Chains A and B, each alone.
Chain A
Amino acid sequence: MLANPYVISLMTIVLLFTFLGQSWNLMLGIGGQLSIGHALFVGLGAYSVGVLYVKYGISPWVGLLTGMILAGSVGASIAWLSFRFEVRGIYFALLTIAAAEFARIMFSGWEFVGAMQGLFFPAPTGGIEISMLRGDARFYYFVALALAALGIIGTEFISRSYLGYVWRAMRDDESAARALGVRTFQHKILVISISAATAAAGGGVLALVQGSIFPDSIMGMGLSVDVLIGPVVGGLGTTFGPLVGSLAAIPLNHLMSALGDSLRIPGLNNITYGVVLISVVWFLPDGIWPAIVRLCKAIQAPPTAWLWQSRKVEE
């Protein structure tokens, strides 16, 4: 399987979006805050890596760190501004989309970062350089694999920690959590900035994998949607949901757009993707992963209960 370059590059994207999905999942599935503008954080991470590397030759490791700090602070300030003034629920979601669109337009007009013409990384030389995070497609596949594993383990770790309990309490009933002494305002800012910082890390690697950065594709509405499709299709708030969802959705989308191209039907992938999204939400409301879990339980599969404690979101 891994000999085929197409499969490798597709799996790299699937794993990267698993990681990005985990970061989004942390925010809604555990923290209870809906973001539909995650592209903002992904884009900030990508541009931090891109600008530092392409313009100054600084290692992407530094870029990743810069991006995480930058996106974390932007996320924290958006959260601070909105919760300060009691902007919440759907209004908060619309604020995230507005912030992302604003940033996208600003970056499209900013000559220093390449504006609409984009930013290009130098072509890979073929050798693997860990210190510069450069290598061939297979190298990036393992980077993405490590990142996805880190995301899954990290989410599991956070959700079992003190913070996980506090955040879920806050998600389920904010006033009750407050009454028990949880400083919900600070905790909401914390969960959003952690989610933003991890999304930026994913965005930085995504930019390296793609070799170029364009404001419309890295900060556009489309990317925000791609980020949240994995967790929602796979199962919100579950540990493996984002992985299962990305595995199902991304190859389907690629397949359909290839089919549409070869048949010369330009909208085919949109139609199938749309129909699939609606049907998943319609027939498997809590996602694919919980459905698999139910199926396994029904046929009495061996008990590995720690894998599938479901953490559903109820708004």
Chain B
Amino acid sequence: MSSLAPALGQVAVLVAALALAVPFLGRYLAHVYTSPRHLAVERASYRLVRVDPDADQHWRTYAMSVLGFSLAGVLVLYGFGRLQSHLPLSLGFPGLPADGAWNTAVSFVTNTDWQWYSGEAATGHLFQMSGLTVQNFVSAGVGMAVAAALARGLARSLQDGRVGNFWSDLVRTVVRVLLPISLVAAVLLVALGVVQNLLEPQVVHTLAGGVQHVTGGPVASQEAIKELGTNGGGFYNANSAHPFENPSPLTDVFEIFLLLVIPFAMAWAFGIMVGDRRQGGAVLAVMVTLWGAGVALLTWAEMAAPGTAPGLAGGAMEGKETRFGEAASALFAASTTGTSTGAVNSMHDSLTAPGGGVALFNMMLGEVAPGGVGSGLYGLLMLAVVTVFLAGLMVGRTPEYLGKKIGQREVTLVACYVLTTPVLVLVGGAIGLTASDGLAGLLNTGPHGLSEGLYAVTSASNNNGSAFAGITSSTPFWNTLLGLCMLFGRFLPMVFVLALAGLFAGRQKLPPSAGTLPTHRPLFVVLLTGVALVVVGLTYVPVLVLGPIVESLS
């Protein structure tokens, strides 16, 4: 369907917009996380919850704050979900079942936004706005705060494990970054035709004589933060494929821009925070390389469309919106899986087999291309530490990253981090595809069924939240399993990251010399990209062989 020229055109527009926005936003983010001053509204909120925003927290305190805050979020959301029918603006929907409420609560607090339900058919406006939308902001804020803490740990020297203040990082992220940008973005989205109201579902009499309930709602406002905070939980089940969420190619590119801009800008901010922009540039370059490769491969897979049926149709259009075409769908799919967003503008189950494989691999990378807000940066920095360790040995020195020696404890933490997600994905996948309750939820069998199940656990464990479709996950089994994957997939790595941040903060920052491995050169960018691909590749190739690879070859 879509030809090459517009496909390249939209990428060009996107890249140009990002190139303009990222350095600017990066500088701003760095300022947000380093400025000693508080805004009046921030002060008020600190007084309200009785915290001292100037206390420099030890990493343990920081981590406890993250966990405590998130636990409270889970409890509130669970309560909201269960008691929905007793709350206003419920649109008459009943309370969620226990396993469903658990899954949804965890899903939104972990920035995954996996949805087992259809948004418009299960949740009212209050739950969507005060429950889910609030978490869309704060769960993104938590991710960015943790990344800021790691950057701070690397920038500091001999600070005895102190990595900053979680409350101040969180509040500033929401007040100074997420709220203003999503406000502007929401207004723009409304201007471009996205729905925004608080009305009851409108009853429409169709030409055929049927009656349709059209659910409107605060769509644009949620859409903005859904993308900006790499959340991905759609107001509607169809997510960004729904015309009320994403009416035109223009909103489509704008939404992709929103979901990419902060992850990329975080890398730039990182460079500024550690006092060496080139380091941020190198991290950014790796993100761009991985994202670019994902986009190129997915676009190729969808447009070149191996297989006879798509060939006859002129492209793999099944499950895609005609107003976007394959190229825009591929760009969206690569971006949403590369970031931990999980919003979709096409059904990933209908991607071609290699295309689906790319989307899957993108998530398996651990969300670093460019990853979720905050989590992309810290994920890539963890891989950078692994790379530095291997490469550093090869230059004959105790490896160091940004002047921090990588010793036994650092390697232990990074090893734990790297281990967490594969264990969740593979063990979760094995359980899901072996247990009869798990198998019951799968639509397909054989390699495609494997892809469906694998996609679900991968998406949950990596906090992506996009669904392959074709899997009925609204069962207690899948809700519980995926809820656990999301919970551990989010917070175990965060604890390891914060512990590493604390360790780095306590270490002396060593001056670089000609003998130090430079971590800003193209060679390191290539090496880090390679390590990301090889480590992930070696871990997942066997399952990928049984799923998408067999499918692609048949």
User: Are these two chains actual partners, yes or no?
Assistant: no
Name A residues whose Cβ lies closer than 8 Å to a Cβ of B. Answer: none
